[in-house]
Amino acid sequence: MFLQLLFNGISLGAVYALIAVGFAIVFSVLKFSNFAHGGMISICAYIGFFFQKTVKPTPPIWVTILFTSLCGIVMSLFLDRIVYASIRRNKSPKNYYFLSSLTISIIITAILNVFFSKNPLAYPMLFSSTTFNVGNIRISRMDTMILIVSVVLLVLLIFLIDKTKVGLAMRAVSIDPETSKLMGINSNFIILMTFSLAGILAGVSGVLLGCKYGVFPDLGQSMMIKGFIASVIGGLGSLGGAIAAAFLLGIIEMFWTYVMGSLSTPVMTFVVMLLFLFIRPQGISGRFAKEKV
Tens digit of each residue's pLDDT (9 = 90 or more) over 224-240: 888 888 888 887 767 78
> 32: closest CA among 193, 194, 249?
194
pLDDT for residue 129: 67
Q: Is the pLDDT assigned to residue 290 strictly greater than 60?
A: no
Q: Give the whole-angstrom CA distance, residue 176 versus residue 189.
A: 15
| 3-class DSSP string for the chain | CHHHHHHHHHHHHHHHHHHHHHHHHHHHHHCCCCCHHHHHHHHHHHHHHHHHHHCCCCCCHHHHHHHHHHHHHHHHHHHHHHHHHHHHHCCCCCHHHHHHHHHHHHHHHHHHHHHCCCCCECCCCCCCCCEEEECCEEEEHHHHHHHHHHHHHHHHHHHHHHHCHHHHHHHHHHHCHHHHHHCCCCHHHHHHHHHHHHHHHHHHHHHHHHHHHCECCCHHHHHHHHHHHHHHHHCCCCHHHHHHHHHHHHHHHHHHHHHHCCCCHHHHHHHHHHHHHHHCCCCCCCCCCCCCC
- 74 or 243, which is more confident: 74
Contact 275, 267 (CB under 8 A): no
Q: Give the whole-angstrom CA distance, residue 54 versus residue 76.
A: 24
pLDDT for residue 175: 77
- 78-111 pLDDT, tens digit per residue, is 998 888 888 877 777 777 877 888 888 889 989 9
Mean pLDDT of 13-39: 84
Q: Which of 43-47, 170-174, 206-210 is the least confident region?
A: 170-174
Q: Give the whole-angstrom CA distance, residue 242 versus residue 232.
A: 8
What is the percent of the chain with per-residue pLDDT over 70, rounded to a whole number?
A: 96
Q: Is the pLDDT assigned to residue 291 strictly greater than 50?
A: no
pLDDT for residue 285: 65
Q: How far is CA 16 from CA 11, 206, 216, in A?
A: 9, 12, 18
Q: Is the pLDDT assigned to residue 207 strictly greater than 50?
A: yes
Contact 213, 199 (CB under 8 A): no
Q: Give the whole-angstrom CA distance, residue 93 versus residue 87.
A: 8
Residue 128 pLDDT level (bands cut at 50, 70, 90): low
Q: Is the pLDDT assigned to residue 288 strictly greater than 60?
A: no
Q: Which residues pair with 132 in a beta bridge?
A: 139
Q: Is the pLDDT assigned to residue 287 strictly greater than 70?
A: no
Q: Give the whole-angstrom CA distance, residue 139 versus residue 19.
A: 23
Residue 213 is which amino acid?
Y
Q: Is the pLDDT assigned to residue 221 strictly greater than 50?
A: yes
Q: Which of 3-7, 90-94, 191-195, 270-274 is the least confident region?
A: 90-94
Q: Which of 151-165, 192-206, 225-239 is the least confident region?
A: 225-239
